[in-house]
Amino acid sequence: MPQSSYRHCAQIVVTLLFWTAPSDGREPRVTSYQQAEAFAEVGDIVRHHYYEDTDAVELFHGAIEGYLSKLDPHSTYITPEQLRKTQERLEGAFEGIGIYFDLIDNFLTVLSPIDGSPAHSVGMLPGDRIVRIDGKSAVGIKSPDVEDRLKGPKGSTVRVSVQRQGFQKLLEFDIVRDRINVPSVPYAFVVADNVGYAKVNRFSGRTTDEIRDAVGRLIGDGIEKLILDLRGNGGGFLEQAVSVSDLFLEPDRLVVYTEGRRRGSREDHYSTHDPVIPASMPVICLVNSSSASAAEIVAGALQDYDRGLIVGHTTFGKGLVQKQYRLKNGGALLLTVAKYMTPSGRPIQRPFDQDRHSYLEAGHDDYDPNVDPDSTTAKPIYYTEILHREVYGSGGISPDVVVSADSLSSFERTLARSNVFLEFATRQATEFTSDFDSFDDYFGRYRPGRREVNAFKKYLKSLPEDRLGVEVSDRAVRESGDFIKERVRQQFAQMRWGTYAAGRVLIDQDPVVTNAADLFERAIALLDSRAYHSERRSRSGSGTFDKVR
């Protein structure tokens, strides 16, 4: 690493070290300048005298991570490459060809082209294997290299050579890259008995518009009840969380407020429009331990105003606000500057007295369906704004009703964590689904049976012994038969008809969604009580929808 690069890294860390100077003017025992000088001195010694060559940038990253580790778990340094990917994820857009992909048996395999993308327009299909990119082999390619070679400026062209089942020769596609909008609402449909379902993956720049459009279509299809699925939603833009809440709440409702360390730093965020979702429509909001940040703001607002029934597991508990500071090296510092509070005053953030790894790991306890339902023991009690129901703070949003996914055996968890179902589907989806000309026909009639389970068992036993790390016994496969059938049905749909079809099958088989649909009587009762109390307040002259605080 050139000396100039090292000095550039050191300058950035020096800047961070200078932040430690006391704000009250007192001289510290060791000055910030002395700290920075010591850091630079250590760096010079390591660079000149360490027994092996060192990477100054890698050491620099480690220094910053060590510095920030003394703060909270969400203050972090982002490299220039990480920043680019983070911005794409939050904006919900990038420039490329537009595919969901996975690496299966060393092949770059298309899971589904994104609707309306260049890949979709030229006719790429789920299950296609991209074996060459611009004439160079893509067999054995690594995931970061896929992005480097397929993404590119809008209007540029990339040639991909595709191996497709049933074709002896490679198919050649010249694809003109374009701006790709990645939906934050990947699917929404009617599930049963006038119940609509909408999945929200993240809160990116267009999430509010996507939810408004999706629910509008469902209302046009005749739904009278709505399931809003925020499971696995890691958050996104605060503004989008507020505007999504605005779709459900009356005007002038406090959705969330933030508080920093300085007096007067509080910022209130209110709903501003009449609700788009009819006030008479009962809502169930699904959450789990991977629902975080912006997802928790929405769930907290729906719960605090008694607008929806929260179902599932306690959420992650990320209630800290990060501000992005761009750095001269192209990276960024995400620094916690405030904390989120729900309308009732509940802090969302859970304690972080553990090390960062343990904190993040503990936040995903219910990722394993075998973990017992969450407890609200020792959490402080708060009260909802209209019905004054007890709710809990200081550790995520606790559900009104705990509903867990089915428990999985050790063998089933091993299968679920691997790519074996996807690999099996790439080989045999066509064989088992060739009789179905449309997804609707497949969805209505196809149910895997013993033949599929036996074929899957044969495939598992053909794998190297160390691939799964568990014995593939006849008994284990037999006892996991129902699980195997469900996953096979989902992956066959993925390979034949893409992500939307796979999502439809997934939700059809999801016990949490099934149980949630059975809870609408409680959601309706909640809504009726809310309307009654609001009417009483209106008649008493207290003002049904006065701004909170």
Each residue's pLDDT tens digit, 46-100: 888 988 888 887 888 788 888 888 888 888 888 888 888 888 877 888 899 999 9
Decide which of 287 and 262 is more confident.
Answer: 287
HEC assignment per residue over 99-137? EEEEEECCEEEEEEECCCCHHHHHCCCCCCEEEEECCEE
CB atoms within 10 A of CB 373: 12
Q: Give the model's pLDDT for residue 85.
A: 82
Is the pLDDT at 368 greater than 50, yes or no? no
- Window from 98-107, 167-176, 305-314, 536-545 with minimum mean pLDDT: 536-545
**Band of pLDDT at residue 159, cut at 50, 70 and 90:** very high
* Alpha-carbon radius of gyration of the chain: 26
Distance, in Å, from the CA atom of 387 to the CA atom of 384, rounded to the nearest integer, reads: 6
CB neighbour list of residue 400: distance below 8 Å, 6 or more residues apart = 303, 309, 310, 311, 522
**Predicted confidence (pLDDT) at residue 442 exceeds the cutoff of 80:** yes
Which percentage of the chain shows pLDDT scores above 70? Answer: 88
Q: What is the pLDDT confidence band of residue 548, given thresholds at 50, 70 and 90?
A: very low
Listed residue (144, 171, 147) closest to 159, CA to CA: 171
236 neighbors 90 (Cβ within 8 angstroms): yes
CB-CB neighbours of 9 under 10 Å: 21
Count the Cβ atoms, other than its own, within 10 Å of residue 220. 8
Q: Are 365 and 290 in contact (CB under 8 A)?
A: no
Q: Is the separation of the CB atoms in 410 and 479 below 8 Å? A: no
Element (H, E) at 76: strand 76-78
Residue 237 has pLDDT above 90, yes or no: yes
Contact between 109 and 127 under an 8 Å Cβ cutoff? The reply is yes
Nearest of 96, 116, 99, 110 to residue 162 by alpha carbon: 110
Could you list the active site residues?
Answer: 293, 304, 318
Q: What pLDDT is recorded for position 546?
A: 44
Q: Is 9 helix (H, G, I), strand (E, B) or coil?
A: helix
Q: How far is CA 307 from CA 17, 36, 299, 480, 544, in A?
A: 47, 53, 10, 39, 14
CA pair distance 216, 213, nearest whole angstrom:
5
Look at residue 404 in the predicted model and tell me its pLDDT.
Answer: 86
Q: Tens of pLDDT along 167-184?
A: 899 999 999 999 998 899
Of 330, 326, 328, 324, nearest in space to 80 by CA: 330
Average pLDDT over residues 288-294: 94
Residue 98 φ/ψ region, left for φ over 0, alpha for ψ in the -120 to 50 degree band, beta for the rest? left
| Long-range contacts formed by 146-155: CB under 8 A, 24+ apart | 146/101, 146/103, 146/108, 147/96, 150/96, 150/97, 150/99, 151/94, 151/95, 151/96, 151/177, 152/95, 152/96, 152/177, 153/95, 153/177, 154/95, 154/178, 154/179
Quick: pLDDT tens for 192-204.
889 999 999 999 9
Strands 332-341 and 320-326: antiparallel
The CA angle 418-150-123, to the nearest 5 degrees, is: 85
Token pair 């004439």 is at which residue? Answer: 135
Angle made by CA atoms 137, 142, 148, in degrees to the nearest 5: 80
More confident site: 26 or 250: 250
What phi, psi does 62 have (nearest 5°)?
-65, -35
Q: Which of 56, 133, 57 is nearest to 101 (CA)?
A: 133
CA distance 429 to 491: 8
User: What was the pLDDT predicted at 369?
Assistant: 38
Instruction: Choose among 120, 101, 117: nearest CA to 109.
Output: 101
In angstroms, rounded to a whole number, what is the distance separating the alpha carbons of residues 230 and 221? 22
Handedness of CA 382, 386, 388, 390 (dihedral sign): negative
Question: Residue 364 gets which letter from DSSP?
Answer: T
The pLDDT assigned to 46 comes to 87
What pLDDT is stored for residue 499 in this prediction? Answer: 87
Residue 62: CA count within 13 A, CB half-sphere: 8
Strands 401-402 and 309-312: parallel
pTM given for the model: 0.84
Query: What single-letter DSSP state applies at residue 500?
Result: H
CB distance 509 to 490 below 8 Å: yes
Q: Are 36 and 17 in contact (CB under 8 A)?
A: yes
pLDDT at 288 over 60: yes
